[in-house]
Chains A and B, each alone.
Chain A
């Protein structure tokens, strides 16, 4: 049972344009939704998160939007830079056990 899903395994964007990464979830008990960035052979790095009581959180070039009624969140990166090329994992936590559950990841490639 995949509680957190990222339906796009990959995304290619031109430098300077907007990257939009999407994530869907099924468990309405999640408290926080997080985005992690991962380079090959490295551990995931926390990027940005949003509480379930908010619908938007912004940090520099990164903005996360949460639509609770649709159980959907998205990460916007603007402007995209080549250094943003990595795998992005959506994750969620909360509920009875408070475990961090990851989505399957989206490989973002930002073309110069």
Chain B
């Protein structure tokens, strides 16, 4: 299994809602990442987990709350979001923090979030 699976693929939520994005990988990778991508922009790093511990938080607002319940799962809890938070949220994984054999990360297909 060489996939990173993200659910849901699409999510529409109001500014008062609480929702979660989920990410799963079964490649035995010990580093997992959340990226945010706005239209016509590059992916921007939000959080990095290494061995289930938060390693990097790129000064992300607290309305985004990551969680890594085990080595295969990564969640992103969403609460009180703003319309400008609408974006494609990408999950990625790698064997360790240094990436794969060539430094690469393995990305999921993303969750398209729309905040009304």
Q: Given A32-B103, A34-B104, A99-B45, do A42 and B110 touch, yes or no (CB 8 Å)?
A: yes
- Interface segment out of the listed B12-20, B62-70, B77-85, B94-102: B94-102
Cβ distance A30 to chain B, nearest Cβ, rounded Å: 9
**B103 and A41 form a contact (CB under 8 A):** no
**A100 and B56 form a contact (CB under 8 A):** no
**B112 and A46 form a contact (CB under 8 A):** no
* A residues 22-48 in Cβ contact with B at 8 Å: 31-32, 34, 36, 41-46
**B99 and A99 form a contact (CB under 8 A):** no
**A102 and B42 form a contact (CB under 8 A):** yes
**A99 and B109 form a contact (CB under 8 A):** no
Most buried by A among B48, B88, B98, B103: B103
For the complex, what is the distance from the CA of A36 to the CA of B107, rounded to whole Å?
10
Cβ distance A2 to chain B, nearest Cβ, rounded Å: 9
Which residue on chain A has the smallest CB distance to residue B44? A102
**A43 and B42 form a contact (CB under 8 A):** no
**B109 and A41 form a contact (CB under 8 A):** yes
Q: Given A97-B56, A102-B42, A103-B42, do A43 and B107 touch, yes or no (CB 8 Å)?
A: yes
Q: Given A43-B107, A43-B108, A49-B104, do A32 and B42 touch, yes or no (CB 8 Å)?
A: no
